[in-house]
Structure formats: C-alpha cells, structure tokens
A = this chain, B = another copy of it.
Amino acid sequence: MAFLKNAWYAGAWSHEVGRALLARTILGEPVLMYRTQKGQPVALSNRCAHRFAPLDRGRLVDDAVECPYHGLRYDSRGQCVHNPQGDGVIPKGARVRCYPAVEKYRVVWIWTGAPEKADIAKIPDFGFIDDSERYGITTGTILIKANYELLSDNLLDLTHTQFLHADVFKSEAVMRGRFEVIENGTTIHSNRWCPDAPPTPPLRLALNYEKHVDFWMNMRWDPPGLMRFDVGATPTGKPREDGVHNLEMHLLTPETETSTHYFWADARTYGINDPVVEENNRRALEHAFVGQDKPMLEAQQAMMGTADLWSLNPVMLQGDAAALRARRVLARLIGQERL
C-alpha cells in the first residue's frame, strides 16, 4: 500500500490549532501544528533534525518552535533560526519539513506532496460549512483503527445502514430505491433515491411528519477521501425544498496504513438553534459512527490483517459500484505519482 502524496488532507479542525503545540501522525509521519501570532496555521515535521526529539514538547518563541531537548529553534517554514551552542552558527541542513497548510471550511488542510503543487482550489467544495445562517452544525473526530479505504467503502455503500444501523435507520425504501453511480473526472457520486416510504424515526422527527416521504442519500467522493453527503426527505411528491436535509462532510486522513483520523461535520436545516435538537442529532450520529461503524471497521481490519483487499478476492455486490470506482481512481492517482 502507498498513500497519495500530492493531496490535501484534513490535519485538524481550525479550533484545535492555536498557540499550543499540537502533534498528530499523518500518513505515518509525525506532524506538528500551531498558529503564528498573526493567526496563520503552520504544519512542520514534529521531529527535530538534531536528535529527533518531538518538537511538540517544546515551546513557541514568537513564531518559532524551540526543541525541548537542546534548544534549536525552527521558524514557521521549518528553517532552523537559532542554535544556542558555541558560536551560534546554524548548521547546514538544520531544518525540518514544512507542509503547506491552509485553512478552509473550519479545517486546517495539509498538503503532503511537492509544495509547489499545493493549490487550495483543489480542495472540494464544502461551502455549507460556512453557512451558519442556514444550518445547525455539529462536528466530531474519531480515531478508527482501520485503513481509510475501508471507511470510504462504508460511506459509498449506504445499504449497510439497513443492517449495521438498522436500529435507527431501517427503511424498506433503501433496498428498492434507485441507485446511481456517476464518475466525473476523479469525482465519484453514489446517489440513492428512495421514494414513497414511511420516514425513519430521525426523519419523522426532523420533518415532524408521519406519512410517506420521498428521501435521498447522495454521496460525493473526491480523492484521497474527502466526502460530501446530502441526505434529506420531503413529503411524497413534494419538491425537496418542502422537506429537510442534512449536508455532511466526511474527511478521511490516514494516520497509518491501518488507522484513520475521521473528521465529520453535519449541517442540518431543522432546529438549527435548538440545543435539544442539536444534542439529539449528535447522539444519533455518534451512536452510528462510534458505536456501530467504528467497531465494524476495526473488526474488518483485524480480519484482513495487513492483506490488501484485492488479495483476499472479495465478492462484489451491486452496492459496491461506487466504492470500487473510488478505489480505482485512487490506485490510478497513486500509480501516476510513482512514474
């Protein structure tokens, strides 16, 4: 396995990055994050060039980080700018890797490839995150001990909601609904249209409506694992505007080959300023993500060990069509990087 290097990964939520030093392993590498005095996010290797001490145990001196072991200081570009020893000359090569880092959609994004290729325009659109007028927003982070592609498999095949999440999300409409996969460049869409069915309990609550509804679940995937979900319902036959919907952001950042930082955000059109709705929504999502998806994904990973999915010769079902295409796009992009 290999990771896609020339890509944006979610490094942290904006609110996590400040003047306190934050360490996180990303793509197997130790990353240090902080914010300059002017508020710019910084991402450096967390490993001092001298004796490999973890810089996050040091301290910020203005915008430079001071190593906790022997006091070398690195500026926000990763260049050593202070050597407290002897004549103070900065040794050649005394620098740590600097990752291009930008802030968008409440997230600090890190570019793990060639810096000159970093282009903020390559981050897919999650504009709804910034629309707090229209949406009530809930966010969370989960560390899952499974490869990130097992998470995108999960999110791109929502038939699993009918089994793994049956206690809350079961509806006979999902399996008989229309399933559509669209490939557009390196973007994959996995859309389900499920008309004329009793609403699931969360939809009944959100809509305050007991009769049949039409509902939809549209997932958009961009490499390496940046996903936008549009799920909603409207009374059967009515336009979507008469209904409710949630827009979600699911960002999958490999910690290692077998673990993933999973950043999620949910934006709902209903009860947007109601703390009870907010709390119920958070509980339902964490019940599904933490209580059901996480143990299943980790059990899958344990069953697979370090084997690649394809080497295990998996049976394919209709619902895998989108995940299969996403895996192919990713494999192609990773292959291109090796040329």
Contacts and interface: CB of A to CB of B under 8 A. Distances in A.
Interface of A: 30, 46-47, 49-54, 57-58, 66-72, 80, 83-87, 91, 93-94, 150, 153, 157, 159-160, 162-164, 175, 179, 296, 299-300, 303-304, 312-319
A157 B91 CA distance: 17
A314 B91 CA distance: 11
Given A84-B162, A85-B159, A57 B317 contact: no
Contact of A303 (B47, B58, B66, B303): B47
A50 B320 CA distance: 10
A52 B72 CA distance: 49
Contacts of A83: 317
Contacts of A304: 52
Contacts of A84: 159, 162, 175
Contacts of A164: 68-69
A20 to B, nearest CB: 18
Contact of A50 (B30, B67, B150, B317): B317
Contacts of A162: 71, 84
Nearest to A94: B315
A162 B71 CA distance: 8
Contacts of A312: 52
Given A70-B160, A71-B159, A159-B71, A85 B317 contact: yes
Contact of A159 (B66, B70, B296, B318): B70
A163 B153 CA distance: 47
A175 B299 CA distance: 51
A210 to B, nearest CB: 26
B175 A85 contact: yes
Contacts of A54: 299, 303
A304 B319 CA distance: 43
12 contacts: A47-B303, A52-B300, A52-B304, A69-B296, A70-B317, A84-B159, A84-B175, A85-B159, A85-B319, A86-B317, A86-B319, A91-B316
A163 B52 contact: no
A314 B49 contact: yes
Contacts of A300: 51-53, 69
7 closest A-B pairs (Cβ-Cβ)?
A: A86-B318, A52-B303, A71-B163, A49-B315, A94-B315, A85-B318, A50-B315
A179 B87 CA distance: 12
Given A70-B163, A87-B318, 14 more contacts: A50-B317, A53-B296, A53-B303, A66-B163, A67-B163, A68-B164, A69-B164, A70-B157, A70-B160, A70-B317, A80-B315, A85-B175, A93-B313, A94-B315
A203 to B, nearest CB: 21
Contacts of A317: 50, 70, 72, 83, 85-86, 91
Contact of A299 (B57, B66, B94): B57
A255 to B, nearest CB: 15
Centre residue among A52, A68, A318 by max chain B CB count within 10 A: A52
Given A30-B303, A53-B303, A69 B315 contact: no
